[in-house]
Amino acid sequence: MVDRHGHFALREAERGTTALRRILIFTHTGRQEAITAALETCALLNSAGAIPVMRRKDQAAMAEAIGAAVPSVQVLGEDCQIEDVDLGVVLGGDGSVLRAAELVRASPMPLVGVNLGHVGFLAEAERSELASTVQALVNETYTVEERMTIEVKVWLDNVCLAETWALNEAAVEKANRERMVEVVIEVDGRPISTFGCDGVVMATPTGSTAYSFSAGGPVVWPDVAALIMVPISAHALFAKPLVISPDSIMAVEMLTRTDAGAVLWCDGRRTIELPPGARVEVTRSDRPVYMARLHTTPFSERLVNKFELPITGWRGPAKEESRRPATTALPVIGPGLQSVDPHYRDEPGLPMVGKPESQG
């Protein structure tokens, strides 16, 4: 985790200690619930002595929805610049957080999500906690953690067709429902396997609970430095999820023995068609996304809560003050125990039997 003050100490000094905090509000202006939450957030920020900031098109969409101007809101790019904003609050689901990350990735501004969707794994708070969340943001009682992102490049005949990034995943998918794509998966310049499949997901630890999870990939704790590769519905004996070094290069090559088309999706937002022979390379990016944390809840507990996992019967570790040594020493190997060898050295044809230690 990175302390929030470490990122913004210089900017605070430049602006002065009496400067009001600016909070950028992202919301889904096509949903009434999100508009209501955004208006409430603006009112809470104003009451707490902070300045709500919105993009011009979001402010205009909200004004049209409510039939009146949104009061006491600064417009990003007109009244202030993104460098003047301290933090972004995202009102919506994980898709809204991904959209916001796309907009602020060039700056070190952290984001905090308030869940208005279903699972909302990227969200830090729920709609019912909006008032306390705003107060925590104004009082700066939060920490910031870095979330790994990936750089994605598409090549064809040694020409780079596209270059983009992702916070969750880069997913190669078949373009036509009725036809599989033929691919070779590769790590660090060495082929791993070739097969027909519906696609391949290349994800970050943050994305391990998103598309990668649905495709059967492992859940990876966010602070683990790793990359993940997960085949989707592969017709192969070996098509297991792979957890790879963060310094490795993952690649998926589209084979040319069929003309089946494919498409690359990054975070479900940025897309490019992949012709036969195309190659998608994924590496760790040196530009992370910053997420504000209001709670110190362990990731394991968040996992249980978000997926409503059954934990009935769990007793947990003994408390340190309750632990005590055994009253008698327990032997590691006691008399009469036998080790098991596949066979005696001088009788290799015998089946596996128990061999007394005294005959060693």
Report whether 40 contacts 130 (CB < 8 A).
yes
By CB atoms closer than 10 A (0-12, 13-18, 19+), residue 23 is buried
Annotated binding site for NAD(+): 94-95, 99, 168-169, 179, 198, 209-214
Q: Which two tokens stand for residue 13?
A: 């000094």
Report whether 88 contacts 99 (CB < 8 A).
no
Q: What is the pLDDT of residues 256-315, one digit of tens each?
A: 888 888 999 999 999 999 998 999 999 999 999 999 999 888 999 989 988 889 999 998
Mean pLDDT estimate for the chain: 86
Instruction: Give how far Cα 139 sits from Cα of 143, 166, 244, 290, 297, Å.
Output: 12, 31, 39, 18, 20
Return the H-helix or E-strand segment holding 103.
Answer: helix 94-104
Domain covering 4-147, topology: Rossmann fold (3.40.50)
pLDDT score recorded for residue 15: 44
Contacts of 290 (CB under 8 A, 6+ apart): 2, 7, 108, 109, 110, 111, 144, 145, 146, 147
User: What CATH number was assigned to the domain covering residues 150-284?
Assistant: 2.60.200.30
pLDDT score recorded for residue 5: 39
Report which residue type is found at 104. V
User: pTM to 2 decimals?
Assistant: 0.81
pLDDT interval class at 17 (50, 70, 90): very low
pLDDT score recorded for residue 8: 37
Rounded-to-integer distance, Cα 87 and Cα 344, Å: 71
Q: What is the pLDDT of residues 21-47, one digit of tens each?
A: 999 999 988 888 899 999 999 999 999
Task: Please state, as a whole number, how many other Cβ atoms lie within 10 Å of the Cβ of residue 343.
Answer: 13
Percent of the chain with pLDDT over 70: 86
Q: Which two tokens stand for residue 149?
A: 């992102």
Annotated binding site: 94-95, 99, 168-169, 179, 198, 209-214
Q: What is the pLDDT of residues 240-258, one digit of tens each?
A: 999 999 999 999 999 988 8
pLDDT score recorded for residue 234: 94
pLDDT score recorded for residue 344: 52
Q: What is the DSSP letter of 24?
A: E
Parallel, antiparallel, or unpaired: how do β-strands 150-156 and 279-284 relate? antiparallel
Rounded-to-integer distance, Cα 172 and Cα 232, Å: 9
Parallel, antiparallel, or unpaired: how do β-strands 181-187 and 270-274 relate? unpaired
Q: Where are the alpha helices (DSSP H) in 178-241?
A: 211-214
Instruction: Give how far Cα 266 sits from Cα of 106, 150, 162, 167, Å.
Output: 17, 10, 12, 8
Rounded-to-integer distance, Cα 212 and Cα 176, Å: 20
Report whether 183 contacts 252 (CB < 8 A).
yes
Report whether 138 contacts 111 (CB < 8 A).
no
Parallel, antiparallel, or unpaired: how do β-strands 87-92 and 111-115 relate? parallel
Asked whether the predicted pLDDT for residue 141 surpasses 80, the reply is: yes
pLDDT score recorded for residue 340: 62
pLDDT interval class at 3 (50, 70, 90): very low
Rounded-to-integer distance, Cα 59 and Cα 280, Å: 38
Least confident residue range of 71-75, 114-118, 134-138, 321-325: 321-325
- In terms of phi and psi (left: phi > 0; alpha: psi -120 to 50; beta: otherwise), the region of 265 is beta
By CB atoms closer than 10 A (0-12, 13-18, 19+), residue 89 is buried
* Residues noted as catalytic: 94
By CB atoms closer than 10 A (0-12, 13-18, 19+), residue 334 is exposed
Phi then psi dihedrals of residue 303, to 5 deg: -60, -45
Report whether 49 contacts 135 (CB < 8 A).
no
**Nearest one of 122, 104, 103 to 113, comparing CA atoms:** 122
Q: Between 130-139 and 32-47, two packed helices, what is the crossing angle to 10 degrees?
A: 40
**Which residue ranges make up each domain of the chain?**
4-147, 150-284
Rounded-to-integer distance, Cα 35 and Cα 251, Å: 41
